[in-house]
Structure 1
Amino acid sequence: MSTKIAVVGGSFVDIYIYGDEPHGCEVVEDCGGSGLNVAFALHQLGLQVFFFSNVAKDHRATFLLNKLQRFGFDTNHITVKDGETGLHISFNDRTIAVKRGVNDLDVDVDWKVVSECSFAFINTEVSKRTIENFLKNFQGKIFLDAGPRHILSDDIRSLHEDLILIGNESQCERIACDVIKMGPSGARWNELHIAGDGLAHPYTTGCGDVFDAVLIFSLLKGEERRVALEKAVKVSQEASKSFKSALAKAQAVKDLLEDVEAGLSTSP
């Protein structure tokens, strides 16, 4: 699938701490940021992704860029700016600290490159000015995730005529979303509801990003809403069972989707 998509979002280094005893904890360090996770998952699914984001000239950026490049991910549109690369820390799957760093700066978008894309994804990890500017100037369909910050205004739809707004239940209490992610309860697209398994799985960080990527990929393949939503729910659910980092979930998304599709094809 050679579809081109522009993704504008944050880049962070993620540190995950699992356990309760200081000398018995497991510490996982990986690339992260919801924008990066969605971009990487879409890349794994075979789309041509142009990812626009900020990092700084520091050891975190070196770690992040080197790892992405080893996976064959295009980092040419990640801009190096003065400051600190973003840092996210979680403890037993609960976020305890976020240093936004250069994610607070406006993202430099190459509009010549973006003009080749009919689709785009953006979320609230970037500055509000970057979001509003992108919505006003992009010519194709935009998937906008309201997370992770509550910075969107009620009139956000007035900035772009072809917008699919995605968010979790708390985010969608403030603005009218098309797609609502409901955790173990599944997801809803207006009146359409796909139930989840109702279970609390241990590794939920980044599952919303996997959901977004699978939903977008399925829709761009021409699948109907019910099918796309069901696949997004099931793949994100499977990802939460054993993959500890968000990027590991994004890296596994192709295999997870194939397993889900195989299961759906054999269902009565």
Structure 2
Amino acid sequence: MGGTFWDIFIFGENPHSSTIRESPGGSGLNVAYGLFLLGHTVDFYSNIGDDWRGKQIVELLEKASFDTSHMSTIQGGKTGIFIAHNDKPLAVDPGVNRKEMKLPSLSEYDLVFVTGEIPEKTIRKICENTKNVILDVGPGARFDTSDLNALVIGNERECSFRKCDVVKMGSKGARWGEVYVPGNGISYPHSIGLGDLFDIVFVHHLPLGKSKKEILEEAVKCSQILGQKENVTPFERISFLEPLSTKDDTLECPDESKDASHHGG
């Protein structure tokens, strides 16, 4: 559960030759959609406005057979908007993501993934009443995590002033406690959303009995491979995730040698 946004990305430096791409977005939705693509049964809880953006998001998700039944439409509410130029966020309007979420009992779920895009009060309720919670704090959250019953994930900046279990370090890799997996050292020009890819692969491998090192290696590798794809929104990049092997549940990320150009979203 987490945020749902309408993403607007502007790629290029010249106003008259720039590319504008729009798609559903938000870390909560991105991770939920990615796990759905990998074959997981996903119930996604999120607030969405009853404006045209909200209706468009629901329509696109339903066309992809993604279950939207747990997304709450707020009457008169505004769907969140995220605007970025290349790799720089320009403006974020959380819209109805600010509102508390109405949640049922979550005890039946094997795992609950939450993002810091939703209110702190809602997050604390989830952590107090649910087991196996993973929280990605994200850039907007300002609360302390030391007392939360959750596995906390964040990037280096987010974890510089709060307790985190897993630290995403961009081109330098990732750390889980004392376990460190190095990255390839390459800083990709369009890195927004690569943290969502990391989370998708991390959550996918977590229940499979793999070691911390193996889970980090898979998450770092996949986010770096898909980081090569430019001029796409995070949601579009996630659509490049390939189906699982039916034999061993191994995640197949697109080969690094394949063409990284956009083929739809």
Q: Structure 1-normalised TM-score?
A: 0.88
Q: Secondary structure at the match of 2:242?
A: helix
1:148-182 C-alpha deviation (Å, 9 max, x unpaired): 2232214333xx2xx21111001111112111000
The CA distance in 2 between the partners of 1:201 and 1:23, in whole Å, is: 24
Matches within 5 A, 1:75-154: 75-81=68-74, 82-111=76-105, 114-138=106-130, 140-154=131-145
Deviates more, 1:210-219 or 1:143-152: 143-152
| Structure 2 alignment gaps of length 5 or more | 245-250, 258-265
The separation in 1 between residues aligned to 2:109 and 2:242, in whole angstroms, is 22
d(CA) in 1 for partners of 2:103, 2:22:
28
Is the partner of 2:199 in helix, strand or coil?
helix
Alignment of 1:191 onto 2:155? no
Q: Corresponding residue for 2:46?
A: 53
Q: Relative to structure 1, is the Cα distance of residues 52 and 185 closer, same or farther in structure 2, using a 3 angstrom cutoff?
A: same
Distance verdict in 2 for CA 1:21–1:91, change over 3 Å: same
Q: Tell me if structure 2 keeps the 8 A contact 1:231–1:261.
A: no
Distance 1:34 1:101 in 2: 15
What displacement does 1:98 show? 0.4
- In the other structure, the counterpart of 2:261 is none
Deviation at 1:258, TM superposition (A): 0.7
CA-CA distance at 1:249 after TM superposition: 2.2
User: Is the Cα–Cα contact under 8 Å of residues 38 and 243 in structure 2 kept in the other structure?
Assistant: no
CA RMSD for the aligned pairs? 1.9
Structure 1 residue runs of 5 or longer lacking an equivalent are 1-7, 264-268
Query: Which runs of at least 4 in structure 1 moved beyond 2 Å after TM superposition?
Result: 154-157, 253-257, 259-263
- Residue 255 (structure 1) shift: 5.3
Report % sequence identity. Answer: 37
Conserved 8 A contact 1:123-1:148: no
Distance across 1 between alignment mates of 2:8 and 2:159: 28
Match of 1:231 in 2: 218
Residue 208 of structure 2, aligned match among 221, 226, 232: 221
Q: Distance in 2 between matches of 1:106 and 1:259?
A: 36
Relative to 1, partners in 2 of residues 1:260 and 1:247: Cα closer, same or farther, differing over 3 Å?
closer
